[in-house]
A and B are shown apart, each in its own frame.
Chain A
Amino acid sequence: MNSISAAASAGTGSGSGTGTETGTGTGLSGERFPVRERFPVWKDKFSLVSSMIQRQDLAFVQVPMQTTVAFITHLRDLEGYAHLVFFTAIDYIEDGIFRLTYMLHNYRRHHDLGVQVDIPREDAGMESIHHLWPHGATYQRELKEMYGIDFPGSPGVDESFVLEGWHDIPPMRREFDTKEYSEKTYYPRPGRVTYDPTEYMKEKLYPSEAETW
């Protein structure tokens, strides 16, 4: 354990190349990677909005829309976050935003970093990252289909992904009424019948008790 943590905490430095960091670890014991120490730097360079350390191997940071792709590029090329684990969205309909999360992984430090950005729900769109990771295009195609978030220039972004022949609004948007859609589309099999326990028990156990009339 000691050797692992020593190796993992070796390096908070300003990287000098893709996936190669130097510097000496000053991490707290038990903390693999003192990501906290990077926050002021990121705040300074990329206007970090907020940060949260979830576990010793997972943190979330939020950045404005304008600096997001620059920040992610920086993380990939200079801070070792070479892998895009997933890219997803959450619909905060009450706040009028989508929150995008780019989950990045640093193999050397065994550290995950979730980069979050809030974008307006209205005419939702975001700069593409397909040039950073080709499979980013797949996530973006899915986000376009499921949430209606556009990524101009992303290959195949307007093609159907899993919803061939879909004509409704994107189904993961919260204004989409799943129940209504399913009732319209998938009607119950004919001949199905069900009984309500309360009513059924009344009929069986006390059909003639006057106070229940």
Chain B
Amino acid sequence: MSLKDIVAPFSVWKRAFEKPYTNRKPLDTRPGAPRYRGFHINAVDTCIGCGTCEEICQNEAIDLVPVKETRHGDSGLRPKIDYGRCCWCALCVDICPTGSLGMSNEYIWIDDDPEVFRFIPGYDEKSWNHAELGYRRAEGYDLLEGQRVGMPMLSFEESRKSFVEMVQGFSAEQAKAEADRCIACGICVATCPAHMKVPEYIKAIRDDNMAEGLKIVYNANPLPASCGRVCSHSCEYVCAVKHKGEALSIRWLKRYIIDQIYLGDYQKILDEGEPDNGKRVAVIGSGPGGLSAAYYLRLLGYQVTVYDANERAGGMLRYGIPEYRLPYDQVDKDIEYIRSLGVDIRQNTRIGADVDFEVVYRDHDALFFSTGLTDPYGLDIAGEDLPGVLSGLGMLDDVTEGRKPDLGASVVVVGGGNVAMDAARTSRRYNAEVTILYRRREEDMPADDEEIHEAQGEGCLLITQAIPLRIEKGDTTRLKLFWGRAEMVSDGPGRRPKPVLIEGSEEVIACDTVIPAIGQAADYSFLPEETAARLTFKRGYVEVNEFHQTAEEKIFAGGDIANPKRDAISAIANGHSAAKGIDIYLRLLQKERATF
């Protein structure tokens, strides 16, 4: 050791009297660069709590914690970041689908408690919460794909000429590319009425494992060939990727899985259920609700008999939806698999006419009915009984049965729902000029957006805020429809405005056919009076509990008669719940009897 080594530590003391080289605390403001990756900010009202930031974080620095109220499309969770692990790589900012996450250019945070460096950006009060500067995802650089893979479809010129299916389905390459857009956040699962495990079956597509996909789909939906085509896809309205542009084509990805597997191969892949338990359950109606209940009851070991008044099974899937949206062979594919499991589906059997309700009730341990909304509402205007006024549902029914409807050269459809769109587009396929009258605005129409778009694309003329007044016999045409213009009047806050006729406005359309399609009511006439008296009804709906059990413990109900969503997937979910409910009910009953 040299003398220098001994003296050096002391010589440093002379610096004590000099101006220090280091920065003094509190530090003078030296702002970070405009795009500096400093402390995180999060617009908590824009954030949907999808957890993609947590997923991509290489350092596992992010947790999702409850912060806001959980709603559809928003988990209510928000990212909490551990600055003991964060490396400020900004991948979380770059991938954030809503763009709510960013970074401020703030970079100094001093505290003697290490625990405080774990915080919820945008929620915990921080000085940098409203920083204008700092890192944001760069324009033109995206880790997520906001554009859908285009679906091959017939052109409108082609589609309106025939009943050939318009949507042609993804190729393997297209399906995989579309599946790759999914971030697997699972926000959609809550919104799907059947709570299908969407991210899991999309993963099966990415893995090219169709058998796995089929199993996942059938766990929550035994009518996927149909749903993959006509589902109301509420999942897509909450898809996190929608914040980047377009939602995943969830419905069409499901269809892709089903299209890849032959019906004959289903049995090798799917669970055939428990052995016969000797109990019998009757299902009234073979629509989506009835078939779903039948399928899950059969898997649980019950002997199931489905009674249906129509010539063929499927309910509204077959009779209400035209072939160009849902080909009959696809409805058959779903139904035939359920039938192959041993479900006895009896067609042309109307309860109350061909079989007594009491007999069905007596011969079965439980009963589920899902008879749908079958009675079309009338327009309640003069001239409604003239020849040439057809109900939308009746007309679609005729087409399904192979009877050519008598439409003439021009048709006016009244209504804004899917039945109205289907009636209009079907009329186009019989070469009629079609006008659609709807009493509210286009954005109020209950029909699916694509149905409205496609109806117009196929040449149907849409007139909104139009109220039918009366129908008269025509001069050169069969009929004349008089209608008046409506103005939208506020109906109080939080309620949609209602259409009110502008007095004195009156226009006329000469046409051969008027098709009212403004909704349907349930027909409960098959229920004997004393049975109906034991059930409770509210505004036309049968009241049920969470097991879809009615006020009469042996009778369960679901579908359009028991839920206000009135779509196939809700009916399917109801059928599934009812099957579980019936199973619980019958097991409990058995136990009770054993104890007495």
Contacts and interface: CB of A to CB of B under 8 A. Distances in A.
Interface string B68-87: 00101001110000101100
Overall SS of chain A's interface: loop
Nearest to A205: B190
A3 interface: no
Contacts of A213: 580
B547 A210 contact: yes
Given A201-B190, A210-B576, A210-B580, 16 more contacts: A188-B60, A192-B118, A195-B64, A197-B75, A197-B186, A198-B187, A198-B199, A200-B70, A201-B186, A201-B187, A201-B189, A202-B195, A204-B70, A206-B190, A211-B573, A211-B576
A201 B75 contact: yes
A72 B481 CA distance: 91
A164 to B, nearest CB: 20
A200 B546 contact: no
Contacts of A204: 70, 76
Interface in A181-213: 186, 188-189, 192-198, 200-202, 204-206, 208-213
Interface in B17-75: 49-51, 54, 60, 63-66, 70, 72, 75
B195 A196 contact: no
B76 A210 contact: no
A194 B189 contact: no
A202 B580 contact: no
Interface size bucket, B side?
35 or more
Interface residues of A, number: 22
A200 B72 contact: no
Contacts, number: 87
A176 to B, nearest CB: 16
B187 A197 contact: yes
Interface of B: 49-51, 54, 60, 63-66, 70, 72, 75-77, 82, 84-85, 118, 185-187, 189-190, 194-195, 199, 220, 296, 546-548, 573, 576-581, 584
Residue from B70, B118, B220 whose CB has the most chain A CB atoms within 10 Å: B70
A194 B199 CA distance: 19
A196 B573 contact: no
Nearest to A197: B75
Contacts of A195: 63-66, 75, 77
B50 to A, nearest CB: 6
Contacts of B50: 197
Interface of A: 186, 188-189, 192-198, 200-202, 204-206, 208-213
A206 B51 CA distance: 20
A197 B546 contact: no
A84 B187 CA distance: 52
Contacts of B296: 211
Given A192-B63, A213-B580, A206 B75 contact: no
Contacts of A208: 546
Given A188-B60, A193-B65, A211 B220 contact: yes
30 contacts: A188-B60, A189-B82, A193-B63, A193-B65, A195-B63, A195-B66, A195-B75, A195-B77, A197-B51, A197-B75, A197-B185, A198-B185, A198-B186, A200-B70, A200-B76, A201-B189, A204-B70, A205-B70, A205-B72, A205-B190, A209-B195, A209-B573, A209-B577, A210-B547, A210-B576, A210-B581, A210-B584, A211-B573, A212-B195, A213-B580
